[in-house]
Amino acid sequence: MVVQSYTLKDYKTDVHNTWCPGCGDFGILTALQMALAEIGVAPHKVAIVSGIGCSGKAPHYLNAYGFHTLHGRAVPVATGMKLSNPEMTVIAVGGDGDGYGIGSGYFVNAGRRNVDFTYLVFDNEVYGLTKGQGSPTMKKGLKAKGMAEAAVQDNINPLALAISSGYTFVGRGYALNPKATAQLIAQAVSHKGTSFIDIIQTCPVYNDLHTKEYYTEMVEGNPRMYWLENTDYDAVVHDTTNADEVVEKKLQAITKAYEGGTGNQIPLGCYYKIDVPTFEDQISQGRPNGMDSILQPNLWNRNVSNLVESLR
């Protein structure tokens, strides 16, 4: 068997890119392409599903099956895609407004399900394409330049929400560090189950509060951002049958997500990981051919006569 290797350019298209100069989306796109090359999955075996907004345009710039869907609905579309075509590597992408605002119901329930796909949220705290309104991650009391007034509504903590929703891989990346973020994405895509990464991203046009300078400055002598893998933090649940360990690792991850109180200190990397049966594993139980009944189901020559005859 010839193992084909891929490079970043195999995942590129020549479609005219309409993102603003300096947009954090470029870093995430590159990180995703690097991750795919590292995993070595063929472009035609990848489906990228996006919502609406600047991030929603990402599939057009990726050489893979691309589905640019509706605002907030990327997660259910990706779920349907994966369950319909389980041999695809499915990656949902979308913005913070898309995932945590209009798509919040799907965000929570995807965690409960654990279908094997990856969800990347491009988190810049603003609705860019509609000219800079605050998103659900904009902290209460802050006012970015496109906002009419300071945020009155509280912000959510996406990582804590993901942990409590049941995601089996939860991480945080940074758009302006594509190389390390690519490593994190590769881990997430390789994870069996629903993996989620909140990727902090700058919006040079509308987010004048949290800029490249803000994220890289020192806080009380330490860099604002640091990678968990460079610490002794252990994100992995080792004994998945041990309910106490599961809870302990979840609480540890949530504490990490609130580190620094107001988020002054921002840990990057994998916060939580547990390997448990996926949705596909669970529904394959009791099928005539196990997982093959999901992968190559018998659909075209079904015998329904027992169903019909039972009605006589």
Nearer to other proteins, 70 or 180 (CB): 70
Are residues 63 and 10 in contact, defined by beta-carbon separation less than 8 angstroms?
Answer: yes
Measured between alpha carbons, how far is 123 from 189 in angstroms, rounded to an integer? Answer: 19
Query: Which of 87, 67, 142, 82 has its CA nearest to residue 114?
Result: 82
Q: How far is the CB of 308 from other proteins (least distance, A)?
A: 6
Report CA-CA distances (Å) from 55 to 18, 72, 103, 115, 267: 11, 12, 14, 22, 23
Q: How far is the CB of 177 from other proteins (least distance, A)?
A: 28
Nearer to other proteins, 121 or 138 (CB): 121
Nearer to other proteins, 93 or 253 (CB): 93
Tell how far CA 118 is from the center of its chain. Answer: 5
Structure-token pair, residue 116:
């094997």
Q: How far is the CB of 297 from other proteins (least distance, A)?
A: 3
User: Which residues does residue 273 pair with via DSSP β-bridges, in sequence order?
Assistant: 169, 236
Determine phi and psi for 267, rounding to 5 degrees.
-75, 140
In residues, how long is the chain? 312
Nearer to other proteins, 36 or 64 (CB): 64
Neighbour-count burial of 202, counting CB atoms closer than 10 A to its CB (0-12 exposed, 13-18 middle, 19+ buried): buried
Nearer to other proteins, 112 or 140 (CB): 112
Q: Which of the 8 DSSP states describes residue 296?
A: S
Nearest 10 degrees: CA dihedral of 300, 44, 18, 216? 120
Nearer to other proteins, 148 or 308 (CB): 308
Q: How far is the CB of 41 from other proteins (least distance, A)?
A: 11
Nearer to other proteins, 34 or 78 (CB): 78
Nearer to other proteins, 78 or 237 (CB): 78
Q: How far is the CB of 155 from other proteins (least distance, A)?
A: 23
Tell how far CA 163 is from the center of its chain. Answer: 13
Q: How far is the CB of 89 from other proteins (least distance, A)?
A: 10
Interface residues with other proteins (CB under 8 A) are 15, 42-45, 47, 49, 52, 57, 59-60, 63-70, 73, 76-85, 87-88, 105-106, 108-109, 113, 283, 286-289, 293-294, 297-300, 302, 304, 307-308, 311-312
Listed in sequence order, the residues at least 6 apart from 78 whose beta carbon sits closer than 8 Å to its beta carbon are 47, 49, 90, 91, 92, 117, 119
Measured between alpha carbons, how far is 312 from 300 in angstroms, rounded to an integer? Answer: 25
Q: How far is the CB of 292 from other proteins (least distance, A)?
A: 9
Q: How far is the CB of 48 from other proteins (least distance, A)?
A: 9
